[in-house]
A and B are shown apart, each in its own frame.
Chain A
Amino acid sequence: MPRWGMVIDVKRCIACWGCTIACKEEHFLPPGVFFNRVLIGESGKFPSSSKLIYPILCNHCTDAACVEACPTGATYVREDGIVAVDDDKCVGCRACLVACPYQQRTYYDQKTKDREYFPGQGKTEMELLGEKLYPLKVGTVIKCNFCSERVDAGLKRGLIPGKDDDATPACVNACPVGARIFGDLDDPDSEVNHLIMEKKGKQLRKEFGTEPAVYYID
Chain B
Amino acid sequence: MTYKTDEIWEDKWVNTTCGVCYCGCAARVRVVNGMPVKIEGIKESTMGGTGAGLCGKGIAGLMYYHDPSRIKKPLRRTNPEKGFGVDPKWKEIEWEEALEEISTRMKKIMADNPNKILFTNQTNRASDGPHNHLYFYAKAFGIPNNGNFIIGGGSLHCGNAAHMLGGLIHGAWSIAPDWRYTNYVLKWGSSKGTGSGHSAMTNARLRADGIRRGLKEIVFDPMGNFAGGKATQWVGILPGTDTAVGLAIANYILNTRGEIDELYLRAKTNFVYLIREDGTFVRDEETDKPLVYDENEKKIKLFDDPSMAFEDFALEADCEYKGEKCRPCFMALKEHLKKFTPEWASKISTVPVATILDVAKGWVDNAQIGSTITIEGQTFPYRPVSSVTFRGSQGHSNGIHQVAAIDLISQLVGAEDVPGGTMGWPSIRRKYPGGQYERLPKVGKDGVIVPSVFYSHDPWPVHSPSYPCTNSGCVEFWSHSTLSHIPYVKEKDYIQEKFGVKNVQPEMIFGISVNFLISQADWSAALDNFKDCFVVQSDIWVNETDQAIGDIILPDTCYLEKDTWSSEIDSFFFNGSPSNEDWYVHLQNPVAKPIGESRDFMNVYLDVANRVGVLDKYHDLLNDYYSITDERLQLKHGEVLTWKEIGERVLEWVYGDDKEKIQEQGFATWHKPIEDVYWRWNMPTRCPVYMEFLIHDRRAAEKIIKDTGFELEMDMDQYGPLPNWFWPTSHKELDDEYDLLAFSYRDVLHTNNSTFQNPLVDEVSQMSPYTFTITLNKGLADKKGFKDGDIIWLENKYGVKENGIVKTMEAQHPKVIGICGQGGLWADGRPIAKGKGSNFCKLLPSYLRHYDPITGNIETSVAVKVYKD
Q: Are A174 and B35 in contact (CB under 8 A)?
A: no
Q: Are B68 and A176 in contact (CB under 8 A)?
A: no
Binds B, one of A64-72, A88-96, A124-132: A124-132
> Across the interface, which residues of B come within 8 angstroms of A143, CB to CB?
none
Q: Which of A15, A50, A165, A179 contacts B52 (CB 8 A)?
A: A165
In the complex, the chain A residue whose C-beta lies closest to that of B760 is A21
Check: A14 CB closer than 8 A to any chain B CB.
yes
Interface band, chain A:
35 or more
Binds A, one of B57-65, B274-282, B643-651: B57-65
Check: A53 CB closer than 8 A to any chain B CB.
yes
Q: Which of B2, B33, B67, B205 contacts A176 (CB 8 A)?
A: B205
> Across the interface, which residues of B come within 8 angstroms of A152, CB to CB?
2
Known: A15-B748, A16-B748, A42-B809. A24 touches B760 (CB 8 A): yes
Q: Are A45 and B212 in contact (CB under 8 A)?
A: no
Binds A, one of B81-89, B469-477, B761-769: B761-769
Q: Shortest beta-carbon distance, A87 to chain B, in Å?
A: 12
> Across the interface, which residues of A come within 8 angstroms of B7, CB to CB?
132
Binds B, one of A32-40, A99-107, A183-191, A204-212: A32-40
Known: A15-B748, A46-B778, A173-B40. A51 touches B229 (CB 8 A): yes
> A20–B40 Cα gap in the complex (Å)?
13
Check: A197 CB closer than 8 A to any chain B CB.
no
> A118–B55 Cα gap in the complex (Å)?
22
Q: Are B205 and A178 in contact (CB under 8 A)?
A: yes
Check: B821 CB closer than 8 A to any chain A CB.
no
Check: B810 CB closer than 8 A to any chain A CB.
yes
Q: Are A118 and B764 in contact (CB under 8 A)?
A: no
> A80–B376 Cα gap in the complex (Å)?
45
Check: B777 CB closer than 8 A to any chain A CB.
yes
Check: B703 CB closer than 8 A to any chain A CB.
no
Known: A12-B211, A53-B229, A174-B40. A38 touches B51 (CB 8 A): no
> A16–B201 Cα gap in the complex (Å)?
10
Q: Are A129 and B33 in contact (CB under 8 A)?
A: yes
Q: Are B48 and A126 in contact (CB under 8 A)?
A: no
Q: Are B53 and A18 in contact (CB under 8 A)?
A: yes
> Across the interface, which residues of A come within 8 angstroms of B51, CB to CB?
165, 173, 175, 178
Check: B533 CB closer than 8 A to any chain A CB.
no
Q: Are B749 and A176 in contact (CB under 8 A)?
A: no
In the complex, the chain B residue whose C-beta lies closest to that of A17 is B56
Q: Which of A24, A44, A174 contacts B54 (CB 8 A)?
A: A174
Kindly supply a per-residue 1/0 record for chain B positions 811-824, scoring 1 wherever the CB is within 8 Å of any chain A CB and 0 otherwise. Answer: 11010000000000
> A25–B38 Cα gap in the complex (Å)?
6
Check: B839 CB closer than 8 A to any chain A CB.
no
Q: Shortest beta-carbon distance, B716 to chain A, in Å?
A: 37
Q: Are A121 and B211 in contact (CB under 8 A)?
A: no
Check: A26 CB closer than 8 A to any chain B CB.
yes
> Across the interface, which residues of B come within 8 angstroms of A37, CB to CB?
767
> Across the interface, which residues of A come within 8 angstroms of B812, CB to CB?
46
> A49–B423 Cα gap in the complex (Å)?
31
Q: Are A46 and B37 in contact (CB under 8 A)?
A: no
Q: Are A31 and B53 in contact (CB under 8 A)?
A: no
> Across the interface, which residues of B come within 8 angstroms of A28, CB to CB?
37
Check: B43 CB closer than 8 A to any chain A CB.
yes
Known: A44-B810, A126-B66. A14 touches B194 (CB 8 A): yes
Kindly supply a per-residue 1/0 record for chain B positions 204-248, scoring 1 wherever the CB is within 8 Å of any chain A CB and 0 otherwise. Answer: 110111011000000000001110111000101000000000000
Q: Shortest beta-carbon distance, B363 to chain A, in Å?
A: 20
> A96–B68 Cα gap in the complex (Å)?
37
Q: Shortest beta-carbon distance, B502 to chain A, in Å?
A: 49
Q: Are A21 and B35 in contact (CB under 8 A)?
A: no
> A25–B814 Cα gap in the complex (Å)?
40
Check: A47 CB closer than 8 A to any chain B CB.
yes
Kindly supply a per-residue 1/0 record for chain B positions 23-60, scoring 1 wherever the CB is within 8 Å of any chain A CB and 0 otherwise. Answer: 00000000011011111110100001111111111111
In the complex, the chain B residue whose C-beta lies closest to that of A24 is B760
> Across the interface, which residues of B come within 8 angstroms of A122, CB to CB?
68
Check: B1 CB closer than 8 A to any chain A CB.
yes
Q: Are A51 and B53 in contact (CB under 8 A)?
A: no
Q: Which of A50, A133, A176 contacts B50 (CB 8 A)?
A: A176
> A42–B760 Cα gap in the complex (Å)?
25
Check: A150 CB closer than 8 A to any chain B CB.
yes
Q: Are B810 and A14 in contact (CB under 8 A)?
A: no
> A26–B212 Cα gap in the complex (Å)?
29
Kindly supply a per-residue 1/0 record for chain A positions 68-79, scoring 1 wherever the CB is within 8 Å of any chain B CB and 0 otherwise. Answer: 000000000000
> Across the interface, which residues of A come within 8 angstroms of B57, CB to CB?
16-17, 21
Q: Which of A9, A14, A44 contacts B748 (CB 8 A)?
A: A14
Check: A84 CB closer than 8 A to any chain B CB.
no
Check: B111 CB closer than 8 A to any chain A CB.
no
> A174–B69 Cα gap in the complex (Å)?
28
Q: Are A22 and B811 in contact (CB under 8 A)?
A: no
> A124–B809 Cα gap in the complex (Å)?
38
From residue 94 to 150 of chain A, which have CB atoms closer than 8 A to chain B?
Answer: 117-122, 124-126, 129-130, 132-135, 149-150
> Across the interface, which residues of A come within 8 angstroms of B52, CB to CB?
165, 173-174
Q: Shortest beta-carbon distance, A76 to chain B, in Å?
A: 19
Check: B779 CB closer than 8 A to any chain A CB.
yes
Check: B831 CB closer than 8 A to any chain A CB.
yes
Check: B134 CB closer than 8 A to any chain A CB.
no
Check: B759 CB closer than 8 A to any chain A CB.
yes
Check: B322 CB closer than 8 A to any chain A CB.
no
Q: Are B55 and A40 in contact (CB under 8 A)?
A: no
> A133–B43 Cα gap in the complex (Å)?
25
Kindly supply a per-residue 1/0 record for chain A positions 147-183, scoring 1 wherever the CB is within 8 Å of any chain B CB and 0 otherwise. Answer: 0011011000000000001000010011111110000
Check: A200 CB closer than 8 A to any chain B CB.
no
> A20–B207 Cα gap in the complex (Å)?
21
> Across the interface, which residues of B come within 8 angstroms of A194, CB to CB?
none
> A203–B167 Cα gap in the complex (Å)?
48
Kindly supply a per-residue 1/0 record for chain B positions 1-27, scoring 1 wherever the CB is within 8 Å of any chain A CB and 0 otherwise. Answer: 111110110000000000000000000
> Across the interface, which residues of A come within 8 angstroms of B831, CB to CB?
118-121
Q: Which of A14, A20, A41, A47 contacts B236 (CB 8 A)?
A: A47
Q: Are A133 and B32 in contact (CB under 8 A)?
A: yes
> A18–B60 Cα gap in the complex (Å)?
8
> A41–B225 Cα gap in the complex (Å)?
10
Q: Are B764 and A42 in contact (CB under 8 A)?
A: no
> Across the interface, which residues of A come within 8 angstroms of B207, CB to CB?
177
> A133–B10 Cα gap in the complex (Å)?
12
From residue 735 to 780 of chain B, which have CB atoms closer than 8 A to chain A?
Answer: 748-749, 759-761, 763-764, 767-770, 777-779
Q: Are B208 and A117 in contact (CB under 8 A)?
A: no
Q: Are A118 and B832 in contact (CB under 8 A)?
A: yes
Q: Shortest beta-carbon distance, B232 to chain A, in Å?
A: 10
Name which of A11, A117, A119 has the most chain B CB atoms within 10 A of its CB.
A117
In the complex, the chain A residue whose C-beta lies closest to that of B32 is A129
> A31–B6 Cα gap in the complex (Å)?
26
Q: Are B768 and A40 in contact (CB under 8 A)?
A: yes
Q: Which of A17, A40, A132 contacts B769 (CB 8 A)?
A: A40
> Across the interface, which residues of B come within 8 angstroms of A176, CB to CB?
41, 48-50, 53-55, 201, 204-205
> Across the interface, which residues of B come within 8 angstroms of A38, CB to CB?
764, 767-768
| A-B interface, 8 closest residue pairs, ranked by CB to CB distance from nearest | A176-B49, A51-B229, A17-B56, A176-B53, A49-B810, A178-B50, A177-B208, A12-B208
Listed A/B pairs (26) with beta-carbon separation below 8 Å = A16-B749, A17-B748, A21-B59, A21-B760, A22-B54, A22-B59, A26-B1, A44-B810, A46-B810, A47-B236, A49-B810, A118-B832, A119-B831, A121-B68, A121-B831, A125-B35, A126-B35, A126-B37, A129-B32, A170-B40, A174-B40, A175-B50, A176-B204, A177-B207, A178-B50, A178-B208
Q: Which residues of B contact A (CB under 8 A)?
A: 1-5, 7-8, 32-33, 35-41, 43, 48-60, 62-63, 66-69, 194-195, 201, 204-205, 207-209, 211-212, 224-226, 228-230, 234, 236, 748-749, 759-761, 763-764, 767-770, 777-779, 809-812, 814, 831-832
In the complex, given contacts A17-B56, A51-B230, A118-B69, what are 13 additional A-B residue pairs having Cβ atoms less than 8 angstroms apart? Answer: A14-B204, A15-B226, A17-B768, A20-B56, A42-B809, A44-B810, A47-B811, A118-B67, A118-B759, A129-B32, A133-B8, A176-B205, A178-B49
